[in-house]
A and B are shown apart, each in its own frame.
Chain A
Amino acid sequence: MALKIKINGKSQVLEKAMTLFDLIKAKGLNQNRIAIEYNQNIIDKDSLSGILIKENDSIEIVNFIGGGR
């Protein structure tokens, strides 16, 4: 069953149930370089495979960019 979720503020539909680990893998991201917030809680990267994404979940995925002053 498809799930409606938000990733980085944008609505997305997942065609099948998956864990956060699966999602990161499916998006081709290197988990060592990013941080993930799941429903406003920062997730330890060791726990990604234990979290099954649910309908209406909100996920933030961030990484570093150039910046300074």
Chain B
Amino acid sequence: MKDSLTLAGKEINNRLFIGTGKFPSKEILKKVLAQAQSEVVTVALRRIDLESKEDNILDFIPKNCQILTNTSGARTAKEAIRIARLAKACGCGDWIKLEVISDNKYLLPDNLETIEATKVLASEGFKIFAYMSPDLSVAKKLIQVKATAIMPLGSPIGSKRGVKTKELVKILIKEIDAPIIVDAGIGYPSEAAECMELGCSAVLVNTAIATAKDPVEMAVSFDLAVKAGRLACRNVNQETSEFAKASSPLTGFLRDE
């Protein structure tokens, strides 16, 4: 059964997006990406270290993966715009996970600066995946300024505390006519499955996989969970009842009259 997601005109068949930070080694990252068959992979941009020759992360990401560059490190819209333009100049396309963070304690996004940067970058043709604190009016404004997708946080980055923002994410899924992709905070496959059951278009996971005892097995687990959640979303009957509804006949057929 084909159930692809179209993002910026591109067909994506795997709804588990994987972040490439914090892995014990690049070889393990390579195995994780091969095993999970993720099609959208995030990377970050940094000043090159001229003193040490490091392996290039791109050598460990399959060529058919769509690179989604994170603007991590940007504290203002201006810095995020600069990072996005540099990322494009690196030659890996124009998909940007726009992240503008001025708070170092909780790493919560600055929604206003994010709208500002989205406006500029989307007008230049960038495909913007806007990381945001889930808020309906902010999401609407992001769509007005042509964001490709909305990425509400589940809980603080790297915290693995789960989707604490569930009720707000549900509102976004219901009201926003664009892909909603939960990003940050997902610690367990069950949480990824729940996001998908709720109707998210995809989830982005990094820390929970990268810091697992066996990242490859954890990636498989997340892949299965995302697939299960998506299937459930397409097929669930949401009707509930206060009282029991027997699924077998209740007549005591062995009883005497």
Query: Which A residues have a C-beta under 8 Å from some C-beta of B?
Result: 7-9, 27-30, 32-37, 42-43, 45, 60-69
Which of A7, A27, A30, A42 has a CB less than 8 Å from the CB of B86? A42
Q: How far is the CB of A12 from chain B (nearest CB, A)?
A: 9
Total contacts A to B, CB within 8 angstroms? Answer: 105
Q: Does B172 contact A (CB under 8 A)?
A: no
Stretch at the interface among B52-60, B136-144, B241-249: B52-60
B-side contacts of A67, CB under 8 Å: 19-21, 42-44, 70, 72
A-B contacts, 7 of them at CB < 8 A, read: A35-B86, A35-B90, A64-B56, A66-B44, A67-B72, A68-B21, A68-B43
A-side contacts of B210, CB under 8 Å: 68
Contact B48 A68 (CB under 8 A): no
Contact A64 B58 (CB under 8 A): yes
Known: A29-B48, A63-B90. 9 other contacts (CB 8 A): A35-B87, A63-B48, A63-B56, A64-B46, A67-B42, A67-B43, A68-B19, A69-B70, A69-B183
Query: Number of B residues contacting the other chain (C-beta, 8 Å)?
Result: 42
Given the interface contacts A8-B50, A42-B85, A69-B207, does A64 sit within 8 Å of B92 by beta carbon? yes
Given the interface contacts A7-B50, A8-B47, does A66 sit within 8 Å of B92 by beta carbon? no
A-side contacts of B158, CB under 8 Å: 69
The CA of A32 and the CA of B58, in the complex, are separated in Å by 11
The CA of A57 and the CA of B23, in the complex, are separated in Å by 36
Query: Which B residues have a C-beta under 8 Å from some C-beta of A?
Result: 18-23, 26, 29, 41-48, 50, 53, 56-58, 67, 69-70, 72, 85-92, 131, 157-158, 183-184, 204, 206-207, 210
Q: How far is the CB of B28 from chain A (nearest CB, A)?
A: 11
Which of A32, A65, A69 has a CB less than 8 Å from the CB of B184? A69
Which of B19, B45, B85, B184 has a CB less than 8 Å from the CB of A64? B45
Contact A68 B50 (CB under 8 A): no
Smallest CB-CB separation from B59: which chain A residue? A33
Contact A36 B43 (CB under 8 A): no
A-side contacts of B29, CB under 8 Å: 66
Contact A66 B56 (CB under 8 A): no
B-side contacts of A66, CB under 8 Å: 19-23, 26, 29, 43-44, 57
A-side contacts of B69, CB under 8 Å: 64
